[in-house]
Amino acid sequence: MLTYQTTPCVEIVDELLEAAGVRVYVKREDLNHSLVSGNKWWKLKYNLLEAKELGADTILTFGGAYSNHVYATSAAAKETGFRSIGVIRGEEVIPYNPTLRFAKSQGMQLHFVSRQTYREKTSDTFIKQLRNEFGDFYLIPEGGSNANAVKGSKEFASNILSAIDSDIIILPVGTGGTIAGLICGLPTTKEIIGVSVLRGGEFLAADIRQLATTCVNDFANTNWKILTDHHHGGYAKSSSALDDFIRHFFLKHGIPLEPVYSGKTMWALWKEISAGKFERGTKILFLHTGGVQHF
């Protein structure tokens, strides 16, 4: 089992919040593990337990060259005694970037495939080819979002987040597993806002509904929405404005953000508050899902 560190919930004090009459708290789940941080811990928890129950000795997963999921999975596999294989999108480039160097240092075997081949990552034919090449393995999908990820995120929401006094919870959305679990695990009196880190993220709503059906048969929750206008160019893309915002936020509040997930989400929250989207007196909980890689 992965080690877990209890995390604090801290209030942000800022002139913008005072003027808007809202309170913002940050659940520092980025501090729950030194390497498998944030939502990755909860998404991997039941995947790793199931892999162990099935007697698997190898974890195989997918991701891009800078994937937080690949980073976290390599560390989680090492800590829990699994071999790991990462199927990486794109051609192999030597020397490896810091993310891939880290994954390799954790014992992950890196297998590079073309972008065209990578699009087939969910097909039975491609998975069969991988089993022929690497032998048996426990498969975790790209981003880690599956029924086990939703189960872990639901547990986190039910046991920890639900006890925090807040009206709204806001978090980044990449593949949808975390927010699906939160929707299932939190009371419908709380509004949940997801910020798409992908360009063209309108499709995420359907994916989230599908993931949520793994824990709720007749899923009909309406207490959530996805914001799709704060992606800064797309996944793993940034902008000078976002980079400046992240630096300024850290200097002012001492909370590290990164441009892929948490930075875009805090940016979105600040924009929504500035636009007067929240009633005075609203308590907003920002879920820091990690993503700051340590090398």
Shared-domain flag, residues 86 and 140: yes
CA 77 to chain centre: 18
Q: Per the domain annotation, does 2 fall within a domain?
A: no
Q: Per the domain annotation, does 237 fall within a domain?
A: yes
CA distances in angstroms from 226 to 205, 208, 223, listed in the order given: 7, 10, 11
pLDDT at 294: 82
CA–CA separation, 127 and 71 (whole Å): 21
CA–CA separation, 137 and 19 (whole Å): 54
Q: Per the domain annotation, does 124 fall within a domain?
A: yes
Shared-domain flag, residues 241 and 221: yes
Q: Per the domain annotation, does 4 fall within a domain?
A: no
Q: Rg for the chain (alpha carbons), in Å?
A: 19
Shared-domain flag, residues 132 and 166: no
The pLDDT tens digits along the chain (295 residues) read 799 999 999 999 999 999 999 999 999 999 999 999 999 999 999 999 999 999 999 999 999 999 999 999 999 999 999 999 999 999 999 999 999 999 999 999 999 999 999 999 999 999 999 999 999 999 999 999 999 999 999 999 999 999 999 999 999 999 999 999 999 999 999 999 999 999 999 999 999 999 999 987 778 889 999 999 999 999 889 999 999 999 999 999 999 999 999 999 999 999 999 999 999 999 999 999 998 888 7
The tokens 């913002």 sit on which residue? 24
Q: Per the domain annotation, does 171 fall within a domain?
A: yes
Q: Per the domain annotation, does 292 fall within a domain?
A: no
Shared-domain flag, residues 119 and 210: no
Based on the structure, what is the number of domains in the chain?
2
The residue segments making up the domain with residue 182 are: 9-34+147-287
Q: Per the domain annotation, does 282 fall within a domain?
A: yes
Check whether the bond before 259 is cis (ω within 30° of 0). no
Shared-domain flag, residues 27 and 69: no
Q: Per the domain annotation, does 250 fall within a domain?
A: yes
Q: Is 128 exposed, middle or buried (0-12, 13-18, 19+ CB in 10 A)?
A: exposed
| CATH number where 61 lies | 3.40.50.1100
pLDDT at 236: 84
Shared-domain flag, residues 252 and 165: yes
Work out the widest C-alpha separation in the chain, in whole angstroms.
61
Shared-domain flag, residues 18 and 136: no
Shared-domain flag, residues 243 and 191: yes
| Domain end (from 87, 115, 144) | 144
Shared-domain flag, residues 228 and 275: yes
Shared-domain flag, residues 44 and 98: yes
Shared-domain flag, residues 164 and 228: yes
CA–CA separation, 150 and 36 (whole Å): 17
pLDDT at 216: 79
- Specify the pTM: 0.95
Minimal CA–CA distance to 155: which of 188, 178, 189? 178
pLDDT at 235: 86
Residue 254: CB partners within 8 Å, gap ≥ 6?
none
Sign of CA dihedral 139, 86, 233, 172: positive
Contact status, residue 253 vs residue 14, Cβ threshold 8 Å: yes
Shared-domain flag, residues 151 and 29: yes
pLDDT at 109: 98
Helix crossing, 39-53 with 68-80: angle to 10°? 50
Q: Read off the pLDDT of residues 148-180 as tens digits, 9 standing for 90 and up.
A: 999 999 999 999 999 999 999 999 999 999 999
Minimal CA–CA distance to 169: which of 13, 284, 25? 284
pLDDT at 288: 98
| Domain end (from 117, 144, 171) | 144
Contact status, residue 31 vs residue 37, Cβ threshold 8 Å: yes
pLDDT at 215: 85
